[in-house]
Amino acid sequence: MLFSAGLVAAVFLVYRPVWDGGFLWDDKAHVTRPDLRSLQGLWRIWFDLGATQQHYPLVHSAFWLQYRLWGENPAGYHLVNLGLHCVVALMVALILRQLAVPGAYLAAAIFALHPVHVESVAWISEQKNTLSAVFYLGAAAAWLRFKQKDEPASYLLALGLFVLALCSKTVTATLPAALLLIGWWQHGRLRWRRDVVPLIPFFVLAAAAGLSTVSVERRLVGAEGAAFDLTLIDRGLIAGRAIWFYLGKIVWPANLVFIYPRWHVSQADWLQYLHPAAAILVLGALWTARKRWRGPLAGALFFVGTLFPALGFFNVYPFLFSFVADHFQYLASLGVIALAAAGITRLLPRRPLRYGSSLAILTALAVLTWKQSHLYADVETLYRATIRANPECWLACNNLAVSLMARGARDEAAGLLERALQLKPDYAEAHDNLGFILAGRGEIDQAIAHYRQALESDPGNGGIHYDLAMALLRKGRIDPAVAHLRTALDLSPEYAEAHNGLGVVLAQHGQTGEALFHFQQAVDLKPEYAEAHNNLGSVLAGNGRLEEAIAHFRRALEIEPASAEARKNLDLAVIRRQRVQDVK
């Protein structure tokens, strides 16, 4: 109990900079969006593959529940993630003690305080890591109890928790292989009926979940294209280097970066073959020594096996900008950490020396984690740090520019977007963002040129079609603007801004019936859309539907009390209504 309390206190203390942290990168895309906040939305989270960024329904259900508790306040999400990380660390201690692994408490403390896990704990989107790890370890603990007690209830519990883990993040599909590895480590061999047969349902579920995720990553997330055209040899070179990269960050957690540079893979460079060759040689040496020491081989195989889904053999979207990321090794690191903790405990049998060494290690890790946590306090701090460490990170340049645009620093944002386009000339989002800044400056022709370049790279992006349409309207080019607005709605039928924009054009050209439809769609899709309420009210007033118009003008003013146009329209509508009543 004392250890648990101390560990939780230490975790919350070293992560103090994160408590008040804001949303990062894609956090707001994970926090439940308006159309998913109802019970019907919860159903879609589970059964509509395209409803969320990735089909991890349990994670998004957790976000759905958290939104109902504290809305868009990031503090609540951060504290939940910290709590889950503490639970994972305590479960690590429990399972290692269950397996009689020396140094169980030390391993749990190292895991809890290691700076390589800051990305998983401080980034709200990675709640899928911490939540899935709770179910992964819960399933492992239930399985070990089943093996010890032969209790059917424990077996069913393990299977159920494994399903929940897969619904949180499919990297947990490696669990059945890890359980086989534990069985081999315990007994020195595996038996078909005792060890393998009971795990067959686990392997079937793991394969199904893995194949589903591979398909979703390609079709819905965008993990395909020229950047992913890698041969099997290329992928082997990536995997070999990644293994040593991840091991290095555990052993020496210096220069941690949110987005690491993407390696250049070349089959012609013989030096790149050294990484996989060295990994194979080390595993071979550990295999040779297995009869005397099974632990090192078990730890290494767990590490590599749990990393396998992220080693490059399967396409995942982040490979577009980097082949490695700290959050990929959240679970895998347990193999190395447990082995290190056991080694310290065995090699330093005297308590004063062992305790002193452990305290020194944990203190160093805590300080590094505290420092790393500061980078995740807000999006600008994070991206500036990323660009300093990885100057060629076009993604960070664009994302920092978006943050600067939001607070009005458009000149600095434009410079960053130009830099992003120098690094990646076909970067559609950067072209779109730069076009938006140029349009705001009145440089419409240059903005249109960037929007067109963006569409060359990403013709299926409804947002870019909308932005181009707005620029064309400012040049008086009505017909192509309407065409792009209709394309935007074909691609994204729930795009409220495109409905509103098309409604404006239609209303100006006397097509009030269709305009009314699009304005109504806009306010239905986005109830807090003041401009659409005002536009809808204007069309309704023009059609003599004054009561409805007044209701929408008032709603627009509730949302934006300073709107002079909505105030004027409301006053005029009220006067007209009074005149009508006087005539009657």
Average pLDDT, the chain: 91
pLDDT of residue 137 exceeding 90, the answer is yes
pLDDT of residue 185 exceeding 70, the answer is yes
Burial class (CB in 10 A: 0-12, 13-18, 19+), 389: middle
Does residue 399 form part of some domain? no
> Rounded mean pLDDT of 252-259?
94
Could you give the angle at which helices 444-457 and 462-474 cross, rounded to 10 degrees? 160
Instruction: Please state, in angstroms and rounded to a whole number, the distance separating the CA atoms of residues 423 and 401.
Output: 15
Q: Report how many domains make up the chain.
A: 2
Give percent of the chain above pLDDT 70: 98
pLDDT of residue 168 exceeding 90, the answer is yes
Instruction: Please state, in angstroms and rounded to a whole number, the distance separating the CA atoms of residues 138 and 136.
Output: 5
Of the candidates 556, 279, 549, 261, which has an alpha carbon nearest to the alpha carbon of residue 394? 261
pLDDT of residue 552 exceeding 80, the answer is yes
Are residues 372 and 499 located together in one domain of the fold?
no
Instruction: Please state, in angstroms and rounded to a whole number, the distance separating the CA atoms of residues 164 and 270.
Output: 43
* N- to C-terminal Cα separation, the chain: 80
> Rounded mean pLDDT of 450-473?
93
Query: Which CATH number covers residue 514?
Result: 1.25.40.10
pTM as predicted: 0.89
Give the pLDDT confidence of 112-131 residue by residue, as tens digits.
Answer: 999 999 999 999 999 999 99
Give the pLDDT confidence of 301-355 residue by residue, as tens digits.
Answer: 999 999 999 998 888 888 888 999 999 999 999 999 999 999 998 888 777 888 8
pLDDT of residue 576 exceeding 90, the answer is no
- Alpha-carbon Rg for the chain, nearest whole angstrom, is 28
> Rounded mean pLDDT of 229-233?
88
Tokens (6 digits) for 365: 């890790």
Does residue 522 form part of some domain? yes
Q: How far is CA 230 from CA 3, 236, 278, 414, in A?
A: 47, 10, 22, 33
Residue 346: its pLDDT value, please?
86
pLDDT of residue 222 exceeding 70, the answer is no
Tokens (6 digits) for 414: 């434009």
Are residues 497 and 364 located together in one domain of the fold?
no
Distance of CA 273 to the CA centre of its chain: 32
Reported confidence tier of residue 583, pLDDT bands at 50, 70, 90: low
User: Comparing 108-122, 218-232, 320-334, 385-399, which segment has the lowest mean pLDDT?
Assistant: 218-232
Q: How far is CA 410 from CA 14, 255, 389, 393, 474, in A?
A: 35, 30, 23, 20, 20
Phi-psi region of 422 (alpha: psi -120 to 50; beta: other; left: phi over 0): alpha
Tokens (6 digits) for 548: 């409805």
Residue 408: its pLDDT value, please?
87
> Rounded mean pLDDT of 401-415?
92
Does residue 386 form part of some domain? no
pLDDT of residue 521 exceeding 90, the answer is yes
User: Comparing 57-66, 87-96, 211-220, 251-260, which segment has the lowest mean pLDDT?
Assistant: 211-220
Give percent of the chain above pLDDT 90: 66
Does residue 462 form part of some domain? no
Residue 520: its pLDDT value, please?
93
pLDDT of residue 211 exceeding 70, the answer is yes
Q: Which amino acid, residue 300?
A: A
Domain's final residue, options 323, 354, 380: 380
Reported confidence tier of residue 216, pLDDT bands at 50, 70, 90: confident
Q: Between these two residues, 164 and 54, which has the higher pLDDT value? A: 164
Instruction: Please state, in angstroms and rounded to a whole number, the distance separating the CA atoms of residues 53 and 46.
Output: 12
Residue 278: its pLDDT value, please?
95
- Which residue range forms the structural domain that includes residue 512? 493-584
Does residue 55 form part of some domain? no
Residue 8: its pLDDT value, please?
94
Reported confidence tier of residue 584, pLDDT bands at 50, 70, 90: low
Give the pLDDT confidence of 29-85 residue by residue, as tens digits.
Answer: 888 888 888 899 889 989 887 778 788 999 999 999 999 999 889 999 999 999 999
Does residue 243 form part of some domain? yes
Q: Between these two residues, 497 and 576, which has the higher pLDDT value? A: 497
Residue 220: its pLDDT value, please?
65
Give the pLDDT confidence of 365-386 residue by residue, as tens digits.
Answer: 999 999 999 999 899 999 999 9
Does residue 486 form part of some domain? no
Of the candidates 246, 243, 174, 10, which has an alpha carbon nearest to the alpha carbon of residue 105? 10
pLDDT of residue 223 exceeding 80, the answer is no
Domain's final residue, options 380, 402, 432: 380
pLDDT of residue 399 exceeding 90, the answer is yes
Instruction: Please state, in angstroms and rounded to a whole number, the distance separating the CA atoms of residues 451 and 354.
Output: 62
> Rounded mean pLDDT of 92-116?
95
Are residues 369 and 515 located together in one domain of the fold?
no
Reported confidence tier of residue 20, pLDDT bands at 50, 70, 90: confident
Does residue 41 form part of some domain? no
Domain's final residue, options 346, 380, 414: 380
Q: Which amino acid, residue 383?
A: Y
